[in-house]
Amino acid sequence: MNKPIGIFITGTDTGVGKTVVAAGLALVLKERGMRVGVMKPVATGCFGDGKRLVSEDAVYLFEAAENEYAPLTNPLRFRNPLAPSVASVIEKKEIPIEKILKAFKELQRHYDFLIVEGIGGLLVPITKEYFVANLIHEMGLPLLIVAKGGLGTINHTLLTVDAAVMRGFEIRGIIFNRMPRVNFSIAEITNPKVVHDLTGVPILGTLPDLEDVDVERCRFGTLREVFKERVELDRLLGLQTVS
Ligand SMILES: Nc1ncnc2c1ncn2[C@@H]1O[C@H](COP(=O)(O)OP(=O)(O)OP(=O)(O)O)[C@@H](O)[C@H]1O
Ligand SMILES: [Mg+2]
């Protein structure tokens, strides 16, 4: 069996839970004894002074995976919460794609498995002519799609799957995030099956809204236990193709 080398976590939108899912995966893989690396190639909306910008996403991932190479985890940072191509113009800072790819290759050497969190969705421009999808192509990683559970997600998820399939990406599966534990809407009950029936893409799990999980406060709470319980890990890793 080939050694799994990593996964690229994309979302149907910004704010759908990519960081939470990436951290959940890191926590579970670490528990399995794997050396897990994490990467947020470009982060916008960072805090701190001009010289030392910090990404909340990168800190969360870094803490979950207990990594050692902060500059490789998050090579490019911007203050403005915008698409990277726009933040880069406003902040007059270039985006050298080769710096991202160099950090990626170096992290791959240090770890058994690399979890890369995307920026927004597949067609977010990193530069004017280079999109998140271009980065996925160059990294050569399979995709995990994070989607929200409620109304609107069928359209967003199908658009994301279409864009991925058109580019020949391998999609390992979809995770629906922030499902309420009680008082489900009809959309939330039916969406996973509808999306599976329309795309054929495996639904790897649904994560509930967890009160003790918070990216901004760097709280993991019950994330590892719930992720283990609710997500089909072997299928996510490509170790099992038929459920
Ligand atoms: N299952 C969950 N339970 C509770 N809170 C959650 C859950 N998933 C995400 N959140 C919260 O929702 C917010 C957005 O989640 P997250 O940061 O993971 O999204 P994202 O897709 O990574 O966003 P971005 O596009 O900014 O990187 C965060 O405040 C996070 O703490
Ligand atoms: Mg994030």
Q: What is the mean pLDDT of residues 32-42?
A: 97
Q: What is the pLDDT at residue 180? A: 87
Q: Is the CB of 19 under 6 A from ligand 1?
A: yes
Q: Is the CB of 18 under 6 A from ligand 1?
A: yes
Quick check: 2 pLDDT over 60? Answer: no
Q: Is the CB of 214 under 6 A from ligand 1?
A: yes
Probe residue for ligand 1, chosen from 179, 215, 216, 217 as the CB with the greatest number of ligand atoms within 8 Å: 215
Q: DSSP letter at 60?
A: H
Ligand 1 atom 8 nearest Cα: 17
**Ligand 2 centroid to residue 194 C-alpha, Å:** 26
40 is catalytic: yes
Q: What is the pLDDT at residue 86? A: 98
- What pTM did the predictor assign? 0.96
Ligand 1 atom 9 nearest Cα: 17
* Atom of ligand 1 minimally distant from the CA of 11: 21
Q: What is the pLDDT at residue 241? A: 62
Q: What is the pLDDT at residue 51? A: 74
CB 158 within 8 A of CB 145: no
Quick check: 44 pLDDT over 60? Answer: yes
Beta pairing class for 143-148 and 171-179: parallel
Helix (H, G, I), strand (E, B) or coil at 121: coil
CA distance 44 to 89: 13
pLDDT tens digits along 146-163: 999 999 999 999 999 999
Q: What is the pLDDT at residue 212? A: 97
Q: What is the pLDDT at residue 60? A: 97
Helix (H, G, I), strand (E, B) or coil at 64: helix
- Among the residues of 32-152, which ranges form H helices? 56-65, 70-73, 84-90, 97-110, 132-139
Among 3, 18, 30, 40, the active-site one is: 40
Ligand 1 atom 25 nearest Cα: 14
pLDDT tens digits along 166-206: 999 999 999 999 998 888 898 888 999 999 999 999 999 99
Probe residue for ligand 1, chosen from 14, 16, 20, 212 as the CB with the greatest number of ligand atoms within 8 Å: 20
List residues bridging with 174 in a β-sheet.
145, 203
Q: What is the CATH number of domain 6-236?
A: 3.40.50.300
CA distance 123 to 108: 25
Q: Domains of the chain: which residue ranges?
A: 6-236
pLDDT tens digits along 45-104: 999 976 789 999 999 999 999 998 889 999 999 999 999 999 999 999 999 999 999 999
Quick check: 3 pLDDT over 50? Answer: no
Q: What is the pLDDT at residue 70? A: 86
pLDDT tens digits along 212-241: 999 999 999 999 999 999 999 999 999 876
| Average pLDDT of the chain to the nearest whole number | 94
Q: What is the mean pLDDT of residues 23-45?
A: 97
Q: Is the CB of 215 under 6 A from ligand 1?
A: yes
